[in-house]
Amino acid sequence: MKLSIVLPIYNEEENISILYHKLTEVLQRINDDYEIICVNDGSRDKSWQVLKDLATSDHKFKILNFKNNFGQTAAMSAGIKISQGEIIIPMDADLQNDPTDIPKFLEKIKEGYDVVSGWRKDRKDDLFSRKIPSWIANGIIASITGVKIHDYGCSMKAYKQDIIKGVNLYGEMHRFIPAYASWQGAKVGEIVVTHHPRIHGQTKYGISRTFKVILDLVVVKFLSVYMNRPMHFFGGLGFVSLFLGLITGLTALGLRLFHIKYIVETPLPILSAMLIIVGVQLIAMGILAEMIMRTYYESQNKEPYVIKDKINFD
């Protein structure tokens, strides 16, 4: 199997048939062995029926059907794990990604890259609710990860199988795969891709997703840098906490020595201590919970999704 296309699908009944015909036209022209893996992520419309109808006439069109909506990352992870291609290309099913860009990804891979990320340079989305939050998030991610690509949020990327198969995905972390791969020594490239406005259906993403991505980025950074030495992380926070506590205490003492305020007359020491303690506890609890969750799944070989049906799989 040469090429695997992975399509997470959630309520895209009007787009599936159009995308299928566009994909098959491009893939047959490439003249490579291929498979199209659709993961129905608990769609509540007629997406499942449309997928089944298409699968009856094309054995290369394969479907996973989730029992419930587990999210884009889980759907993408399921498709990647079951794929057989030497090169794996996930993409959105909303017709905003263009199948005619697939040959560009393959050419870039042939140049020696392990991961090729799409860049929606001329993005056809709302400026304030989609594009500006995306620019901010991409800048933060590139700065923290050190992997300078323009568009982490573009689902259309190409991966060599040996790079992507070993990456376990949780939360919204599919967008960080280029950073994961780069940290493991992979060569990461980028190409400009075509982006179309959405015609059918409604977008599932909003400005709130930016905050979720930033929170996931904190976890990714911790797991990549501090997984084997967590004391450096928690110890660093501890020193900051002690320093701030010392400054607060000295401030309160100075106010008393210069007869400006009695210590009991100002809430500053108590307020500062409470905010610092609560902040540190919340961050630590979040990271510990993330580590426990990963241990829960991986120690039992469990996945964060449940597959209900399979079609055209051996």
206 pLDDT exceeds 60?
A: no
What average pLDDT does this structure show over 104-131? 89
CA nearest to 276, candidates 238, 219, 304: 238
**Domain architecture of the chain: domains with CATH:** 3-225 (3.90.550.10), 230-299 (no CATH)
254 pLDDT exceeds 90?
A: no
Confidence band for 233, pLDDT divided at 50, 70 and 90 = confident
Query: How confident is the model over 23-59, as pLDDT tens digits?
Result: 999 999 987 799 999 999 999 999 999 999 999 999 9
What average pLDDT does this structure show over 129-153? 84
Cα four-point dihedral sign 140, 144, 150, 154: negative
Question: According to DSSP H, which parts of the chain are helical?
Answer: 13-30, 47-55, 72-82, 102-110, 132-145, 161-164, 177-183, 208-225, 230-257, 268-299
Confidence band for 299, pLDDT divided at 50, 70 and 90 = confident
Give 95 or 213, the one with higher predicted confidence: 95
Please work out, in degrees rounded to the nearest 5, the angle formed at the alpha carbon of residue 92 by the alpha carbons of 203 and 3: 175
Q: Could you give the 3-state DSSP secondary structure of residue 69?
A: coil
Residue 87 contacts residue 160 (beta carbons within 8 Å): yes
What does the pLDDT read at residue 53?
95
Confidence band for 298, pLDDT divided at 50, 70 and 90 = confident
**What distances in angstroms separate CA 145 from CA 157, 175, 185, 217, 236, one per listed residue?**
18, 12, 14, 9, 19
What does the pLDDT read at residue 64?
96
158 pLDDT exceeds 90?
A: yes
What average pLDDT does this structure show over 137-143? 85
The span from the CA of 100 to the CA of 124, in Å, is: 17
What predicted TM-score, i.e. pTM, was given to this entire model?
Answer: 0.77
* DSSP 8-state code for residue 263: G
Query: What burial class does residue 106 get, using C-beta atoms within 10 Å of its C-beta: 0-12 exposed, 13-18 middle, 19+ buried?
Result: middle
Confidence band for 212, pLDDT divided at 50, 70 and 90 = confident
**What distances in angstroms separate CA 159 from CA 90, 102, 278, one per listed residue?**
9, 12, 41
The span from the CA of 227 to the CA of 136, in Å, is: 27
